[in-house]
Amino acid sequence: MSETLARTSADGSQGGAPAPQQGHRPAWLTPVNLVIIITTLVALALRLYYQYTRPGFLLGVTEYDDGPYFGSAVRLVHGSLPYRDFVLVQPPGITLLMSPVGLLTYWIGTGWGLAIGRILTLLAGTAGVTLAGLLVRHRGPLAVLLTCGIMAVYSDSVAAAHTVLVEPWLVLFCLAGAVTVFDGDRITASTRRIAWGGVLFGFAGAVEAWAIVPVLVLAALCLPHIKRAAVFAGGVAAGFVIPVLPFAVAGPGQFYRSLITAQVGYRAHAVRVGVLLRLRNMVGLPYSLGWSKSLLLLVVLVIVVFVIVTQAAAIVVTRQPQPTLDWFATVSGVLIVAMFLWPPQFHYHFCAFLAPFMALTLALPLCRLLGGPQPDGSLAITWPKTSGPKAARQAGLAIAGVAAAALAVAAVSQARFESAVPRVIGPIPAMIDRLVPPGACVLTDQVSVTLAVNRFVSTDPSCPKLVDGLGATLALSDGLKPETGAANVPRVNAAWNQMFSHAQYVILTSTNARRIAWSSQLEAYFASHFTQVYRSPQRLSLYVRKGLRAG
């Protein structure tokens, strides 16, 4: 293979001189920017299609987790503090991000507030694609196409952006931090940029603790320069501590039980999610593709071999060590995969955090191997055997064409999968709105139901401030779920008995037994004090306290 380093700029000019402009093309309309714009629009289209082609996804009930995340913001703007007044199993970053929308619920109601939160999360997920493109723009259009294209069609990234989940926001702040910290392939020499990049990564940790993975990798990459590492660590500390500390001080014991006991602590008798299901999600291709066990393992093997071979070949061919940006992406990606394989718990939306690191790990070494823009602005011609930039551009165009076609197929396949209507609760029946008066004290096992129907906020000061029934059960029982014995814990029984004793209405989903620790005493109290007045086709059951007239 040739080792010629042609002094050719990324725009095709030679000798480092600017290429003559053709016509009156705007200066910003470069091939790299065009690819970023197109892939961002594809990402937005897929996420909008997912949201608006499914009945009930904007104003109905589609998840469990969005209820606690958005509900915590509504509670906060109404004067209740997470970890002191109610259990929240995530750091307060998502609560703070949703708080401006929470303020709007005073005028527009919690149903439309949740819808706005969903739209903002969709936009955050789309913006992550743009930031990934900005991170690798110095590597040329092919690197941008592969990185942004993979993120745009990555199935779980699309799905995670449909409602208020933490992963799109986590990715947004991690990538914003990376764009700030990296100057091309290297960590910037600017102290200010390193500090602000640390702040962004620190706030990402305040959204979801998983941000510690890229933070530790970046800190290690900074270590040859102690001052730079210290500045980065100081920025991370400020970005995390400033938003988190006030809540931790307000309720330290509950803060620990919420974030450690309920979220990352040991869970007795936990059912482990299978490895094959995890791998299928982490691969990131649309679910509409047929996934036999053999095919899945083959795809995983191909990805692993591809990464190893391209990275090794790029080092051999270029005779240069792997750039810092490549190390950041690869090590972070490997650690995230290990983190997702280790604990018993796993959910599809976890993998949205893996998407940018997988995309970078696949794209960057391939572009180094084929020849792409270098940090000094030249074009490395390493493959195929040629000494001219024209052949290199032709090879790059061929690879880009194949990649674009593959991503287009993946996008169409993803859209086909999205056209199937999922089994969710969907729109809240109008009957519940008519039977439950505004301001009533309503208890439910899934607060996204009361948010969607504008019955989350009560005028009764003694009404329970519950936002996460399962999280509260886990926190109070030291890691037990209702199906693993939480009902046998006195503290759990006392909490649920107190909540039911103040409720005027109860709305139960068909999966309420997963979140409410039904002891025999609680079941007897519920049967003697509440009567069912409505049951929807989606198996939502409405109960009213005996002696209280519904409607």
Q: From 351, 345, 397, 349, select the one nearest 370 (Cα to Cα).
A: 397
Q: What is the pLDDT of residue 260?
A: 84
Residue 513 has what pLDDT?
A: 93
Task: Let me know if 315 is exposed, middle or buried by CB neighbors in 10 A (0-12, 13-18, 19+).
Answer: middle
Q: At what angle do helices 166-181 and 355-370 cross, to 10 degrees?
A: 40
What is the token pair recorded at 260? 């450690």
pTM (2 d.p.): 0.90
Question: What local confidence, expressed as pLDDT, does residue 136 receive?
Answer: 96
Tens digit of each residue's pLDDT (9 = 90 or more) over 22-34 = 556 677 778 899 9
Residues 375, 55: Cα–Cα separation, whole Å: 49
CB 162 within 8 A of CB 170: no
What is the per-residue pLDDT across 497-515, written as a single tens digit (0 to 9) for each? 999 999 999 999 999 999 9
Helix H or strand E segment including 534: strand 530-535
Q: Following DSSP, what letter does each residue of 243-274 receive, concatenated?
A: HHHHHHHH-HHHHHIIIIIIIIS--TTPPPPP
pLDDT of residue 53: 75
Cα–Cα distances (Å) from 275 to 8, 280, 347, in that order, read 47, 9, 12
**Which pLDDT tens digit goes with each residue over 77-130?**
999 999 999 999 999 999 999 999 999 999 999 999 999 999 999 999 999 999
> Which residues pair with residue 185 across a beta bridge?
none
Over residues 30-42, the mean pLDDT reads 92
Count of Cβ atoms closer than 10 Å to residue 513 Cβ: 14
As a whole number of angstroms, the distance between CA 533 and CA 550 comes to 8
Q: How far apart are CA 330 and CA 433, in angstroms?
A: 51
**Residue 379 pLDDT exceeds 90:** no
Could you tell me which residue, 207 or 390, shows the higher pLDDT? 207
Q: What are phi and psi of 446, to 5 degrees?
A: -140, 100
State the sign of the Cα–Cα–Cα–Cα dihedral 481, 483, 488, 490: positive
> Could you give the C-alpha distances from 364 to 53, 267, 322, 328, 370, in angstroms and in order?
35, 39, 10, 11, 10
Counting Cα atoms < 13 Å in the Cβ hemisphere of 487 gives 14
User: What's the pLDDT band for 161 if we cut at 50, 70, 90?
Assistant: very high
Judge whether residue 267 has pLDDT over 90.
no
Query: What pLDDT does 413 receive?
Result: 67
Establish whether the linkage from the previous residue to 384 is cis, with ω within 30° of 0: yes
Provide DSSP, 105-156: HHHHHHHHHHHHHHHHHHHHHHHHHHHHHHHHGGG-HHHHHHHHHHHHH-HH
